Chains A and B, each alone.
Chain A
Amino acid sequence: MTDDLLRIDGLRTVFRTHGGEIAAVDGVDLSVPRGRTLGIVGESGCGKSVLSLSVMRLVAHPGRVAAGHVALDGRDLLSLSNAEMRDVRGSQVAMIFQEPMTSLNPVHTVGFQITEAMRAHDARASKADLRDRAIDALKRVRIPAPERRFDEYPHQLSGGMRQRVMIAMALACKPKLLIADEPTTALDVTVQAQILDLLRDLQQETGMSIILITHDLGVVAEMADEVAVMYAGRVVERAPAGALFGDPMHPYTLGLLGSVPRLDEERENLLAIEGSVPPPFALPKGCRFHPRCPFAVPECRSEQPPLRPIAEGHQAACLRAPVEAFAA
């Protein structure tokens, strides 16, 4: 049995809207082993951020977690009091976002923001002690001249440097789980490579688990031990990274793989997936991918395929996977 740090079961997160209630995350089961990285991929609007906010219990009104369990180290986060959850957030689970500028406060120095984050969990530490620890934290995320950066404001830093500061703040309280929601999407590719490298090193040092959310298949292939592919609020395929790329099962995963241009292959045309992702208020019945799926058969329109085991450690939510079994 694997030693899971986080287990998510039957998670359903809904939003109340004018048109009624929509489920942005609709029945998701996932787990993250200790010290490992789970990659979550999927296109815009498929529920990646809502899923991670649900784990953090940061879904804001009019949203709420309507069903399911989230267990960290066996402890059900959804039944904690707000005060208990605040404590978990600082000390056991931390999150970083795509745009560090919006999560950093522009009117305070970098040092002030890191020491405040630390003080929230250690009210008795002295100012000098906090300063030393903050500078250490900046060093750990390899910010050059951390003593000087401590007194600078966010706008004085480059995008990559700001993301490092966010990581330093997130890791200041040594969380067991780091949720990184598109941490490199806003960054240039050379800076992205620095940040990915840093995350990998920090994981080795601390043994933390990581949930890495991205729409970039290259980034998941580089970082994730296991990958979950999401489509329209559900996980449609789950597998170890090697199997997901080497033996992709779900037609949506195939469509994604065929859509990305590759440096290692010339193709006249990209595969592309026809149509676009349905909005949560207009989800098709049956398999949510069926209007775009070239393999769809009439059953796909009525039955919602469950995630089922299809090979060792490999699950897909498709009535017809693997597709060659049906190709005549």
Chain B
Amino acid sequence: MSEPLLDVTGLAKHYPVREGLILAKQVGTVRAVDGVSFSVKRGETLALVGESGCGKSTTARLVLRLIEPSAGTIRFEGADVTRITGAAQRAMRRRMQIVFQDPYASLNPRLTVADTIAEPMAVHGIGDAASRRKRVEELLSLVGLRSFHAQRYPHEFSGGQRQRIGIARALSVQPDLVVCDEPVSALDVSIQAQVVNLLKDLQRRFGLAYLFIAHDLAVVKHVADRVAVMYLGQIVEIGNKADLFANPRHPYTRALLAAIPHPDPQRRGQVKPLGGDVPSPMNPPPGCRFHTRCPFAQDRCRSEAPALRPMADGHEAACHFAETLPPAGLDFAGGLSEAAARRLALYARARAA
């Protein structure tokens, strides 16, 4: 079997919480990421999914070495990213790029689009001014923008267009891995679809690997090869998309899936809310972190933390009772109505014409 492109083991990030302006006494620790392991193969998409504050962006920043881990190792093609320095580190940095959620905040308003896209090439000393200009032209067309856009500024673009600029910038240095931190969450659905299609297309063409962060499971199901579900700084379930969606074993994964309203009024009333709120990552509950909200919690769950274990189909879940839970009772049959599907086919045909 081929070596994974990215291999993360036992990754943790703990932030001290201080109180008091002068003495700044440490009063606690935010366990933003608390022992996370996963790998990403060349050309594949691993999605990290979970609710706000579960540690997705912190994981992304750790992988990119934008922040220092409190524990754990990050290997890129087998080399320990946390140990290399100097030229080797710069070379590694080039091969991992990021696309951010907020296309408004993530672009420098004073740089033209051309300079924005060329900046990583300049930082990494790739090419000269002329070859970079040429590459910018290529990249603009690659992400569906026009060459006259090069001399404009970010504020002249819509959200979807800015996200395209961010993608062009990330691709400028030919990375192997692109960390996408909620790249479509801030976009309207029609634009979201454009950007998702673009990301998938670019992946096919360049063999990119994506660490794709999202909180929308329908988007995840559409883009991912494998999925990791996070809760309070930890991965509670991970595996191939097909296995995980067909047979979710962790009660939290099931709760997430059951909470999504389907765009189909015939299935109204099937949404099942999960009770309670996410506990503070400063005081994660003892034992299984999900026990305060889990409908299946037993005494054992309150004291003993469950480890990620392989299930029958090979995907992994961290629940003491994963094998004996009642059926999830999730119904993903349905799809578009006949009339809608027929007209959508006409739409696609008319557009292609």
Contacts and interface: CB of A to CB of B under 8 A. Distances in A.
Given A193-B259, A323-B347, A245 B340 contact: yes
B85 interface: no
Contact of B334 (A215, A261, A264, A277): A264
Contact of A270 (B193, B257, B260, B334): B193
B193 A272 contact: yes
Determine the interface band of chain A, counting residues with CB < 8 A from chain B.
35 or more
A221 B336 contact: no
B190 A217 contact: no
B272 interface: yes
Nearest to A227: B265
A196 interface: yes
Interface stretch (B5-13, B56-64, B217-225): B217-225
A263 B261 contact: no
Contacts of B332: 263-264
A212 to B, nearest CB: 12
B344 interface: yes
Interface string B181-205: 0000000111111101100100000
Contacts of B258: 193
A71 B351 CA distance: 42
Interface in A37-74: 43-44
Nearest to B195: A272
A43 B272 CA distance: 26
B326 interface: no
B149 interface: no
Contacts of B104: none
Contacts of A219: 261
Contact of A257 (B160, B191, B260, B336): B336
A264 B261 CA distance: 11
B185 to A, nearest CB: 11
Interface in A208-237: 215-224
A6 interface: no
Contacts of A271: 193, 344, 347-348
A215 B257 CA distance: 20
B261 A218 contact: yes
Interface residues of B, number: 64
Given A261-B218, A294-B347, A245 B263 contact: yes
A251 B347 contact: yes
A324 interface: yes
A161 interface: yes
A262 interface: yes
A272 B197 contact: yes
Interface string B49-73: 0011000000000000000000000
A197 B273 contact: yes
A224 B265 CA distance: 8
Given A194-B273, A247-B340, A323 B268 contact: no
Among the interface residues A241, A242, A245, which one has the most CB atoms of the partner chain B within 10 A? Answer: A245
A158 B193 contact: no
Contact of A263 (B197, B221, B339, B346): B221
A218 B263 contact: yes
A83 interface: no
A261 B342 contact: no
B193 A193 contact: no
Among the interface residues A219, A261, A265, A267, which one has the most CB atoms of the partner chain B within 10 A? Answer: A261
Interface string B128-169: 000000000000000000000000000000111100000000
A43 B188 contact: yes
B215 A188 contact: yes
Contact of B266 (A196, A242, A265, A276): A242
A215 B215 CA distance: 16
B257 A263 contact: yes
B340 A248 contact: yes
Given A188-B215, A189-B51, A273-B190, A221 B197 contact: no
A306 interface: no
Contacts of B350: 294-295, 323, 327
A256 interface: yes
A257 B340 CA distance: 8
A274 B331 CA distance: 32
Contacts of A294: 347, 350-351, 353
Nearest to A244: B265
B261 A191 contact: no
Contact of B337 (A217, A218, A247, A327): A247
A264 B271 contact: no
A188 B51 contact: yes
B299 interface: no
Contact of A221 (B268, B340, B346): B268
A272 B348 CA distance: 9
A316 to B, nearest CB: 12
Given A193-B272, A259-B192, A324 B346 contact: yes
B42 interface: no
List 5 A-B pairs, minimum CB-CB distance, nearest first: A272-B193, A218-B261, A193-B273, A259-B193, A222-B261
12 contacts: A161-B277, A188-B51, A190-B259, A193-B261, A193-B271, A197-B273, A216-B261, A248-B339, A257-B263, A260-B193, A276-B160, A294-B350
Given A188-B52, A263-B217, A269-B197, 8 more contacts: A216-B261, A222-B271, A248-B339, A248-B340, A257-B340, A273-B194, A276-B161, A294-B347
Interface of A: 43-44, 158-161, 188-194, 196-197, 215-224, 241-242, 245-248, 251, 254-265, 267, 269-274, 276-277, 294-295, 322-324, 327
